[in-house]
Amino acid sequence: MIMRIPLLARDERGVAAVEFGLIAPVVVLMLGGFMEFAHVSSARSTLEAATMRAARAVAASDCPSQREAILKAIVENGMSGFRSADGKKATITSKAYSSRFGDVGEPEPFEDTNGNKIHDDGESYTDVNGNGKYDTDMGASGSIGAAGEVVSYTAEFRVGSLFPFISQQFVGSNSYRLRASTVVRNEPVFRTTGCV
């Protein structure tokens, strides 16, 4: 028995299997990570493209009464190739502003009587969006805007993970919340020739 120990130390049978056993999990994890990253990047890019396509279609729509349906259909169809993590379709929200791009995301104007650059109770303000309260974003929520107005669109979608064990380890969830935004100006005049 004592003689066999030196022979065992020089025996190289099975070394490849042991090396493969050590390296394979790392390689599989890396490949899965790359595929997960590519999947999420593709979904994000698709959502951004669908949001821009929908916004352009609505801004130049021939029929204002059908604009919301067009908007929703384009974004939902764009994301139909991706599995929703929560079973919901992509959603899109809008905010209409005046005809100036500079108004997007800006607060409603107010008179800063105490000079702290923050709207405090009692300070007068201009209710630009007409909702009866001061807002830090003057856009009219849920509106697709009138002719010539600037509109901000934001689409959201929760895409499912390809490899839940990977996403669970790195982001703590089996899904990724994607968000895409774009801003367009509606055509100065809406035609009604396309209305059915």
Task: Give 65-122 pLDDT, tens digit per residue.
Answer: 788 888 999 999 999 999 999 999 999 999 999 889 999 999 999 999 888 989 988 8
Count, residues in the chain? 196
Q: What pLDDT, on a 0 to 100 scale, did the predictor assign at position 5? A: 60
Looking at every residue in the chain, the average pLDDT score rounds to 87
Which residues have C-beta within 8 Å of that of residue 88, sequence separation ≥ 6? 158
Name the more confident of 21 and 194. Answer: 21
Q: What pLDDT, on a 0 to 100 scale, did the predictor assign at position 189? A: 75
User: Mapping DSSP to helix (H, G, I), strand (E, B) and coil, where does residue 87 land?
Assistant: coil
Cβ contact 54:90 at 8 Å:
no
Q: Which residue has the tokens 């209409």?
A: 96
**How large a percentage of the chain has pLDDT more than 90?**
51
Q: What pLDDT, on a 0 to 100 scale, did the predictor assign at position 67? A: 84
pTM for this entry: 0.78
Segment 6-35, tens digit of pLDDT: 665 666 777 788 888 899 989 988 998 899
Buried b (16+ CB within 10 A) or exposed e, 95-131: bbbeeeeebbeeebeeeeeeeeeebeeeeebeebbee
Q: What pLDDT, on a 0 to 100 scale, did the predictor assign at position 195? A: 64
